[in-house]
Amino acid sequence: MLNRGDFDYICRLVQERSAIVLEAGKEYLVELRLKPLLRDCGVADMGAFVERLRSDRSGTLQRQVVEAMTTNETSFFRDIHPFETLRRQILPELLRLRAGERALNVWCGAASSGQEIYSLAMLLREHFPELLGWRVRLLATDISREMILRCREGRYSQLEVNRGLPAAMLVKYFERVDMDWRLKETIRQMVEFREMNLAASWPGLPTMDLILLRNVLIYFDEATKRAILGRVHGALRGDGYLLLGGSETTLNLDARFDQVRLDRTLCYRVRGGDGGGRI
């Protein structure tokens, strides 16, 4: 069992390293997420594990704990409505607006295991063949080094591809590798993955036409949400789009965004169209 002192220590560690807040009552989640690390360390209980964690001078175990606690569940084409809105309205508009430049920049700020950005890559390849002649940059970032490495591999279990991925896309864009499925190179090479902490500085991030920051703000305190949205405002082109999770909003956090409903999806745009500066 995880006692209060050890739980508080892990909460402080995670918040200091990632700005993510673990609330009281999440002890069960902490134990569940850290159980594989206990096995790797060869310790029998949480008390012994936290004792080793406190004495971790190299920082390796601390980093592994933060990564374990900041990895969030995802799936292909999660909450399908935003992807339908992207296909029907947002992407056609962005292609029209960028026809002169023939360039499109998209950023997924919480890559997790990669399904969201790869879903978008398949959607672009499937429905917008004209982009083959464009400079398309799909960037996905995550705080977890382990997740970034996994994303680059593009390999998923049968259970993962069964969740949300149309069978036709599985056949068309994946190949079987042992008991798993791996995205074909034509899709993998469309995406650039980079390790990045949303709560820290964002070096080298270009201005974006579309930013996906879905189901991640909910893990931060209000001050961190405001700081992240402030940097998003600087990274989003004035006529670009920001997509958040269904339970997330910019309201009462940053007044420089307008909320726009397209079909069944809430999107956010820079108020006045003057938010296209760099961070």
36 shares its domain with 100:
no
54 shares its domain with 120:
no
What span, in angstroms and rounded, lies between the C-alpha atoms of 190 and 8? Answer: 41
Q: How far is CA 103 from each of CA 185, 191, 236, rounded to the nearest angstrom?
A: 21, 15, 15
Q: What is the mean pLDDT of the chain?
A: 92
Tens digits of residue pLDDT in 158-215: 999 999 999 999 999 999 999 999 999 999 999 999 999 998 888 888 999 999 999 9
The β-bridge partners of 135 are 103
Q: What is the pLDDT of residue 278?
A: 40
CATH number of the domain to which 259 belongs: 3.40.50.150
Indicate whether 276 pLDDT > 70: no
Tens digits of residue pLDDT in 52-108: 999 888 888 988 888 888 767 789 999 999 999 999 999 999 999 999 999 999 999
Within a domain: residue 76? no
46 shares its domain with 97:
no
116 shares its domain with 167:
yes
Q: What is the pLDDT of residue 71?
A: 67
112 or 279: which leads in pLDDT: 112
CATH number of the domain to which 18 belongs: 1.10.155.10
What span, in angstroms and rounded, lies between the C-alpha atoms of 241 and 77? Answer: 18
Residue finishing a domain among 49, 70, 91: 70
Within a domain: residue 14? yes
120 shares its domain with 222:
yes
Active-site positions?
Answer: 33, 142
Within a domain: residue 279? no
The β-bridge partners of 193 are 140
Indicate whether 134 pLDDT > 60: yes
Within a domain: residue 278? no
128 shares its domain with 256:
yes
Under the banding of pLDDT at 50, 70 and 90, the label for residue 279 is very low
Tell me the pTM. 0.85
Indicate whether 137 pLDDT > 80: yes
269 shares its domain with 158:
yes
